[in-house]
Amino acid sequence: MIKATICLGLLISYYSVNSEIISKGLNSTYVPDWWQTSIIYQVYVRSFKDSNGDGIGDLIGLTQKTDYFKNLGVGAIWLSPIFQSPQLDFGYDISNYKEIDKSYGSLADFDRLLIEFHKAGIKVILDFVPNHTSDEHEWFIKSVKKIAPFTDFYVWKDPVIKDGERHPPNNWLSVFNSGSAWEWNEERQQYYLHQFLVKQPDLNYRCPTVVEDIKNTLSFWLGRGVDGFRFDATNYLFEREDLLDEPKSGKPDYEDTDYDSLNHIHTLDQPETYDMVRVWREYLEKYAEIKQEPFTKFIMVECYSPFDKTMMYYGTPSAPAAHFPFNFQFIGKFNHQSNAHDLRDVVVSWIRNMPEGMWPNWVLGNHDNSRIASRLDPMLVDGLHMIQLLLPGTAVTYYADELGVEDTYVRWDQTIDTAGLNVGPRRYEKFSRDPARSPFPWDDSINAGFSNGSKVWLPINPRYWRDNMMAQTKFKSHLKTYKQLARLRQSPTFVRGDLHVYAFSKWVFGFSRSYYDHPTYFVIINLGSEMETINLLNARNTLPDILKVKISSINSGYVTGNLLHSEYITMRPKTALVLTTSRINEDNY
């Protein structure tokens, strides 16, 4: 990747009309790995398809939808946690890493899922939770009793005694509990650390046996045939051993017991954490080598960390860590107020700041955040997917975002997410993640085709009668646009091509992809609320006078095959286009 900045503006004079290459593309001899050219699709299993009428999505239901993923153009599915769990945090509180939770099925169901998805050419990635377990895990139960070798499996500390009273070791706060990250255990007579729920005690990675047992767990699932892992909450793995208090963050609108009231310099992104990710990468690579696996065993990590610390999870060319840390720039830095220059910075900053030789990725949403159609604008869904799927890098899609599904309003009496329940009815809407986890709307039948049961675990979006998968197969829709983009991204121009980035005006963003004698493509998105006319010849004067519409957003007023003059591209508000220099229909894409 060439580390260079570029922003070109037609309407803003201080931007040069000469563009520079942001990404020089791939060498013609380089063969991209499967995870580099794939769309990775996050399946929130609990909300995808219920096969037995209990109102909860399961592995059998998911397997029944294999063809949906194949037709969508997905290369890998990432499953939300399916391990045995009390489900207080819906699988992120694991009580047995080597069993499937009964609400989702059995190991036999999982094995059948692997067979069917692999038969369809789709990889399967598991969501692995390394930072903590459930307090119902055998490891914790034995650690409480100081039974070897589990005595130091968790972070145990003695109390601080002040004026004869017992206090937690320091001021560290829990993400979910609106209070201390320490919980007193009467039987052991010590505090244990829980950076999330009280019932999610943190593992102690300074204990060598913990490290080995986690490796053994990864080996168990690799042996069953999984293709990789998404590591949850990776940046929480280690904490400072001297237990220094964390300073106040100074952020407004947070109470002293709220997690964001502190600056977490002692509990996040510690140096040992990066070393542990490298250990996992080496372990997966060694496993693949010994077993003579034909495909790379993949690792991606979640870390809502400062930008510079996030980049460190890539590792270095000589000591790689994750294949990539999630790129949350579109979640954390892009909003309703963002203009074309902000969008340009989001794109360029990631590519420019990656360590040499590393691979970008683009994430628009996930199970912890409001959906893109609600967080930004429903009419921008197609344009954002054009960016996500046609930039160089791996695209990670959250289930049902291909339909442009919006958040589902969940009343207080319907709320089940602990992050919302713990703060009470006055503030639950700010913290609850339930609205983004509503069941997938398959059709306009009862329960949107998700379940034939009498009750589902979360409310169905009330717009399902109109906004559902089946309906979107019958007219110009977000789903059809997504499928077009998924096919197009497999063309040589998008797999290997150069990248130029432009800000045509304050509100119109664009980029182009080009590769040797293959067609050049322009992607243009009008983020604004007014119609604008763009002159692409000011960006690249070598363009032909006429460009063809390859893909258009549903609100654009254009259709595939329309011919547009390069000097006069009229864009309605919130619309997007993919234009090509080719006058031939590339049916394969």
Helix residue ranges, H only, 251-312: 271-290, 307-311
Write down the catalytic residue from 232, 382, 434, 467. 232
**Rounded Cα distance, 49 and 522, in Å:** 37
Choose the catalytic residue: 302, 402, 434, 467. Answer: 302
Determine whether 434 is an active site residue: no
| CA-closest candidate to residue 43, choices 11, 8, 82 | 82
321 Cα distance to chain centroid: 18
Tokens of 325: 């840390």
Cis peptide bond upstream of 355, omega within 30:
no
How far apart (Å, rounded) are the C-alpha atoms in residues 183 and 492?
Answer: 55
- Kindly give the residue spans of alpha helices, DSSP state H, lying in 120-185: 138-144
For residue 232, indicate whether it is catalytic: yes
Q: Which two tokens stand for residue 139?
A: 């490891």
Closest by CA position to 388, among listed 232, 310, 494: 494
**Long-range Cβ pairs for the range 170-173 (8 Å, 24+):** 170/243, 170/244, 170/245, 170/246, 171/245, 171/246, 171/262, 172/239, 172/245, 172/246, 172/262, 172/266, 172/267, 173/246, 173/257, 173/258, 173/259, 173/261, 173/262
Which run of H or E residues covers position 363? Answer: strand 361-363
**Among the listed residues 482, 522, 480, the one whose alpha carbon sits nearest the alpha carbon of residue 502:** 522
Closest CA relative to residue 160, chosen from 150, 170, 171, 151: 170
562 and 575 Cβ atoms separated by less than 8 Å: no
* Residues with active-site annotation: 232, 302
